[in-house]
Chains A and B, each alone.
Chain A
């Protein structure tokens, strides 16, 4: 329609002004998308670190175990729970664990450690445990032996082929003790994990703790965090007392808090950025209207309804926003994609802090669609808000005064 053509041409009467105004949106979108992509990327990596190294996206255990993580509160997997898990489509894998504390001793040294009994192939599918085997071989169901985390092994001064003694309490207070050859050494990217973990097969752990067929938890995986909510909702509905289901976020509230805090900081920065941009555009629009009063008056005089005039002015504002948003996205999407594919390696203090926190020292980027469409949406809202001015003006413009101008 002609009105829109007029609006478009009006933009290019002062091309530089339009370029600069749209340019401010361009940079706003670029900066904001880049920042958001980086934030989301780092959250995603933190979450997947936690989830994929250890906790899984979801865990199933008993309500007593949730209160008190002792061997006495473990459970035996029954068919009804198993069928719920098998029938939930969003679940990609699940695996069983039996976990408890025990003392680990070499010849002279003893240290508290966490024993994790796992199904070797299931655990590997869920947490990729096998890839952290630095020396020796991974667990298998046919031979006995344990995997010891690297820092713990160093502390105990043991290596592959040595034996360690585990002893502690088993199910219902039974004495738990056993001697195990070390099959392999695990080196995780997280120091926390490296200090305390010993892995063995589920069967062996059940034997060690005299807890036949018992499990402390089932670790459940979904595609990624964005696929979690529906699965969580279904399982929470279907899994009934005495069992319960917990998401990684419920299991790791500190991580959620940290992410939320960081997100709030990001919102603040981005709001500030967009507010500055809003005033910049508003300035341009004020000028575009006030310097054309006479022209607008003439248009109304010769028969252009004010509603149609407001369409012209609205589209002028909208176009400025659209140009800025589209160019901003056109540039930020490939940049973010590049860094999504090639995360930026970090060095120095930042990197070691991250390693200490159990996070791989890379700056990750996210390609979640909402990183980008949020920017477009914000620009759209800003444009709509700003266009209130010219739209109101087209209804209130005094005819005779603008014609005499």
Chain B
């Protein structure tokens, strides 16, 4: 079953005189439970691609269909709710709401979804324990290391029980041991909850963990390969 179907997705930026084709006609599908790295040099269009896929950046043309829904056919209000319920986001940095504790950050999205308190508390605890920082539930983000913050971000992304999680260079600001353990964590979560992960990176260590690697250059798919890993 395809979770995501993408048809001739294109994004053209009007940078004054020159038009930049940041993403240039991408066709690709993603299946439930995939663990995919989108790789390519800086400026190749990874962020633009992920943003269109995640309902953040409107494509110039093409379609994004998630669970049968044509994402860019939704109204902007519907789109926000759609993101909340279907997509988990992990950004490069400053993912968390600074005035909320780790626990509250995870809980926040479930609150937006209108989940009952008991369920929220239980799931918050469960997720923070799963990402290995159950003991920091009451800490504000500023009291956590970069690696810990990204773990909370992963927990938050999982909290809404999304179809898939998009992570744009989630390890770019992490040292190598934090990078390895975050990757380990994402891979674990992928297996544990069977949640689809799509992450952009140009970090070789991150690519090495991926079971599918999509290489982009100049807004086009250069290669799309599957790997068996344990």
- Residues of chain A at the chain B interface (Cβ within 8 Å): 2, 6, 9-10, 13, 294-295, 298-306, 308, 399-400, 403-404
How far is it, in angstroms, between the C-alpha of A314 and the C-alpha of B84 when the chains are bound?
23
Q: Are A306 and B56 in contact (CB under 8 A)?
A: no
Minimum C-beta distance from A316 to chain B (A): 11
Nearest A residue to B108 via CB reads A2
Any A CB within 8 A of the CB of B94: yes
How far is it, in angstroms, between the C-alpha of A6 and the C-alpha of B101 when the chains are bound?
11
Q: Are B56 and A301 in contact (CB under 8 A)?
A: yes
Any A CB within 8 A of the CB of B85: yes
Within 8 A of A (CB), among B126-170: 156, 160
Q: Are B156 and A13 in contact (CB under 8 A)?
A: no
Any A CB within 8 A of the CB of B83: yes
How far is it, in angstroms, between the C-alpha of A6 and the C-alpha of B98 when the chains are bound?
10
- A400 is contacted by which of B51, B109, B112, B160 (Cβ under 8 Å)? B51
List, in ascending order, chain A residues with CB within 8 A of B91's CB.
Answer: 298, 301, 403
List, in ascending order, chain B residues with CB within 8 A of A303's CB.
Answer: 80-81, 83-85, 109, 112-113, 160
List, in ascending order, chain B residues with CB within 8 A of A2's CB.
Answer: 108, 111
How far is it, in angstroms, between the C-alpha of A302 and the C-alpha of B94 when the chains are bound?
13
Minimum C-beta distance from A301 to chain B (A): 6
Q: Are A295 and B85 in contact (CB under 8 A)?
A: no
- A10 is contacted by which of B57, B77, B99, B112 (Cβ under 8 Å)? B99
Q: Are A6 and B56 in contact (CB under 8 A)?
A: no
Minimum C-beta distance from B166 to chain A (A): 10
Any A CB within 8 A of the CB of B95: yes
Q: Are A295 and B80 in contact (CB under 8 A)?
A: no
List, in ascending order, chain B residues with CB within 8 A of A403's CB.
Answer: 51, 56, 91
Minimum C-beta distance from A381 to chain B (A): 28
Chain B interface size band reads 20 to 34
How far is it, in angstroms, between the C-alpha of A301 and the C-alpha of B162 when the chains are bound?
14
List, in ascending order, chain A residues with CB within 8 A of B85's CB.
Answer: 303
How far is it, in angstroms, between the C-alpha of A202 and the C-alpha of B220 when the chains are bound?
109
Most interface-central of A6, A298, A299, A301 (chain B CB within 10 A): A301
Q: Are A294 and B99 in contact (CB under 8 A)?
A: no
List, in ascending order, chain A residues with CB within 8 A of B83's CB.
Answer: 301-303
List, in ascending order, chain A residues with CB within 8 A of B97's CB.
Answer: 6, 295, 298-299
How far is it, in angstroms, between the C-alpha of A313 and the C-alpha of B112 when the chains are bound?
17
Any A CB within 8 A of the CB of B100: yes
Any A CB within 8 A of the CB of B89: yes
Nearest A residue to B88 via CB reads A302
- A399 is contacted by which of B56, B81, B95 (Cβ under 8 Å)? B56
How far is it, in angstroms, between the C-alpha of A308 and the C-alpha of B112 when the chains are bound?
10
List, in ascending order, chain A residues with CB within 8 A of B109's CB.
Answer: 302-303
Q: Are A302 and B156 in contact (CB under 8 A)?
A: yes
Within 8 A of A (CB), among B69-83: 76-77, 80-81, 83
List, in ascending order, chain B residues with CB within 8 A of A298's CB.
Answer: 89, 91, 94-95, 97
List, in ascending order, chain A residues with CB within 8 A of B111's CB.
Answer: 2
Query: Could you name 16 residue pairs across A and B whose Cβ atoms are closer than 8 Å?
Result: A13-B98, A294-B94, A295-B94, A295-B98, A298-B97, A299-B97, A302-B84, A302-B109, A302-B156, A303-B80, A303-B113, A306-B76, A308-B112, A399-B57, A400-B57, A403-B51
Nearest B residue to A305 via CB reads B80
Q: Are B89 and A301 in contact (CB under 8 A)?
A: yes
List, in ascending order, chain B residues with CB within 8 A of A299's CB.
Answer: 97
Nearest A residue to B104 via CB reads A2
How far is it, in angstroms, between the C-alpha of A286 and the C-alpha of B95 when the chains are bound?
22
Most interface-central of B56, B95, B99 (chain A CB within 10 A): B99
